[in-house]
């Protein structure tokens, strides 16, 4: 691997360290703050389960973050992660439990503005909506759990020493669950921006399973998070544990459990598949703020007690940090990209060409998209998505969905289906029928991603996308993830 690549990845490691230093407080802060669990114990348990959650379940939330903006150059990924990390580090110095989710979203928007890329409005609205829903949902979960536990303990009438032992064990188990949830949900914040420009390739482990490039990225980020937990999280843990509201050990356990449930809801692909298969509305897989989940749970318990012990001024400071974090990160990223490109001569984004070629125009007609009004743009090329959409907007009105589809169909690329790469496709993820369909395309070149998808679908129904519906959501999402893998794997590097 090129040494330059390792240098660029350091910002992701710094962001991971910042997440460990700040967000680990959300898992064990209440337990450490109430002196029920020693910091060393909390750090070890948290680190182990953050790594497991990141590697095993981290892909779900990364998908939505990737739709917000696809940073396609390693130097751009480096600066986005660095801007987010610097913002989180500054807030950590102020002992404010802010969110890496908010910081990285701000950084991605900053990169989109600098590169002329389009910020996916639907993905942004979905993420912003979860920022509002997250603390409310955590409060709604914490209140009934707290009431139920209080009644259970009153009924059980445990001896104080036995109750103390049970509470400590419960806090450690809840912390392990919370750490796994934190890794699964928030690893996308640390390494998600590096996925489109990932330098890692898949490899097999003992011919048993494939360790993907994305999993390698996530493992690297998770280790950095663990280092952050050990080296700098204690101060923020004490702020969360006692700064917002005095918590009893039982209340501390309720806070951690509520926080963990919320993060799991927004990261579980298994839950999404279960809901979709039963025609039930699915929960968006989004990297939500663990800080907001913890604060929401604390406030839920506080309101249950009448709100008298809540330190509202501390809550106000925390809330101000939530608002300013994405704004600071976006501005910092935008300015830093300018210097990285113009002073240090680094390529912070790869130009993406959009062209309404005759083949694309025909495909627009087949897809029932308004092509007649765009004939004046036929065969013109645009190197920025914003300029392309501006030219379209001067000729016709398009809905957000239509804009997204025209951008998707007009984006040019260079994909070559090479025989040596086909033979290395992972059989534990792609089915035999899917691999065989790719093999039949050996030697062919494609200039558009949708052309690859159409060719594969004609060769095998196992590549088919079904009409959008709740029941088909999980299937279509899996097929799109596999297609993205094919695009990345066979893209010709220049």
Please write the tens of the pLDDT for every residue from 20-33.
Answer: 887 776 788 767 87
Mean pLDDT of 248-263: 88
Mean pLDDT of 240-251: 71
Check residues 283 and 43 and name the one with the higher pLDDT: 43
pLDDT at 437: 96
Q: How far apart are CA 34 and CA 482, in angstroms?
A: 46
pLDDT at 238: 64
Mean pLDDT of 99-115: 91
**% of residues, the chain, pLDDT over 90:** 34
pLDDT at 241: 52
Name residue, tokens 């984004």. Answer: 349
pLDDT at 1: 53
What are the pLDDT digits (tens) for 180-237? 988 888 888 888 788 766 667 766 666 666 677 778 888 889 999 989 888 877 766 6
pLDDT at 63: 62
pLDDT at 197: 64
33: its two tokens: 């703050």
- Inform me whether the pLDDT recorded for 48 exceeds 90: yes
Q: How far apart are CA 477 and CA 474, in angstroms?
A: 5
Which range has highest mean pLDDT (85-89, 246-250, 266-270, 463-467)?
463-467
367: its two tokens: 């897809």
Check residues 354 and 232 and name the one with the higher pLDDT: 354
Query: Is 117 buried (19+), middle (13-18) or exposed (0-12) by CB count in 10 A?
Result: buried
What are the pLDDT digits (tens) for 137-178? 999 999 999 999 999 988 988 888 898 899 899 989 998 998
Name the residue among 488, 490, 474 with its Cα closest to residue 60: 474
Q: Work out the number of other CB atoms within 10 angstroms of the CB of residue 7.
A: 12
- Inform me whether the pLDDT recorded for 61 exceeds 60: no
- Inform me whether the pLDDT recorded for 451 exceeds 90: yes
What are the pLDDT digits (tens) for 418-438? 998 898 888 877 899 999 999
pLDDT at 399: 87
pLDDT at 234: 73
**Predicted confidence band at 9 (pLDDT cuts at 50, 70, 90)?**
confident
Backbone phi, psi, residue 210, to 5°: -100, 125
pLDDT at 192: 77
What are the pLDDT digits (tens) for 308-320? 777 777 777 777 8
Mean pLDDT of 454-483: 88
Q: Work out the number of other CB atoms within 10 angstroms of the CB of residue 323.
A: 10
* Mean pLDDT for all residues in the chain: 85
The total number of residues written for the chain in this structure: 494
Q: How far apart are CA 36 and CA 38, in angstroms?
A: 7
Domain ranges of the chain: 3-342, 354-490
**Predicted confidence band at 392 (pLDDT cuts at 50, 70, 90)?**
very high
Mean pLDDT of 94-111: 84
């Amino acid at each position: 691997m090129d040494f330059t690549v390792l240098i660029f990845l350091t910002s992701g490691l710094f962001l991971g360290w910042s997440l460990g230093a700040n967000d680990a407080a959300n898992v064990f802060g209440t337990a450490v703050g109430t002196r029920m669990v020693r910091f060393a114990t909390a750090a070890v348990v948290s680190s182990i389960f953050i790594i497991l959650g990141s590697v095993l379940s981290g892909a779900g939330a990364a998908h939505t973050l990737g739709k917000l903006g696809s940073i396609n150059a390693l130097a751009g990924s480096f600066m986005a992660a660095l801007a987010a990390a610097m913002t989180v580090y500054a807030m950590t110095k102020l002992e404010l439990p802010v969110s890496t989710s908010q910081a990285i979203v701000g950084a991605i928007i900053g990169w989109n503005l600098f590169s002329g890329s389009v910020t996916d409005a639907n993905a942004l609205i979905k993420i912003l909506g979860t920022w509002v829903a997250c603390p409310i949902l955590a409060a709604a979960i914490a209140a009934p759990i707290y009431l139920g536990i209080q009644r259970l303990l009153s009924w059980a009438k445990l001896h104080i020493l036995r109750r103390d032992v049970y509470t400590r064990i419960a806090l450690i188990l809840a912390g392990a669950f919370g750490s796994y949830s934190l890794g699964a949900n928030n690893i996308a914040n640390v390494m998600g921006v590096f996925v489109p420009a990932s330098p890692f390739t898949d490899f097999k482990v003992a011919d048993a399973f494939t360790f993907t490039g994305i999993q390698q990225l996530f493992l690297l980020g998770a280790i950095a998070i663990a280092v952050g937990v050990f080296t700098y999280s204690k101060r923020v843990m004490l702020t969360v544990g006692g700064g917002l509201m005095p918590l009893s050990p039982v209340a501390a356990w309720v806070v951690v459990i509520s926080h963990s449930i919320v993060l799991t809801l927004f990261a579980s692909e298994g839950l999404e598949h279960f809901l979709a298969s039963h025609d039930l509305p699915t929960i968006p897989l989004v990297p939500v703020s663990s800080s907001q989940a913890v604060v929401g749970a604390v406030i839920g318990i506080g309101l249950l007690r009448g709100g008298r012990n809540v330190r509202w001024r501390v809550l106000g400071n925390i809330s101000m940090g939530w608002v300013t974090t994405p704004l600071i990160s976006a501005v910092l990223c935008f300015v830093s990209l300018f210097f990285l490109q113009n002073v240090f001569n680094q390529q912070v984004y790869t130009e993406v060409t959009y062209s309404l070629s005759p083949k694309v125009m025909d495909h627009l007609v087949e897809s029932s998209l308004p092509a007649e009004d765009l004939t004046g743009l036929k065969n013109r090329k645009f190197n920025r998505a914003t300029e392309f959409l501006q030219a379209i907007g001067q000729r016709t009105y398009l809905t957000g969905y239509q804009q997204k589809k025209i951008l998707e169909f007009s984006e040019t690329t260079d994909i070559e289906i090479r025989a040596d790469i086909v033979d290395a496709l992972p059989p534990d993820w792609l089915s035999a029928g899917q691999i065989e369909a790719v093999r039949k395309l050996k030697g062919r070149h494609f200039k558009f991603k949708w052309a690859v998808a159409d060719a594969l679908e004609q060769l095998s129904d196992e590549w088919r996308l079904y009409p959008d519906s709740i029941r088909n959501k999980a299937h279509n999402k899996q097929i799109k993830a596999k297609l993205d893998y094919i695009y990345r794997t066979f893209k010709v590097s220049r």
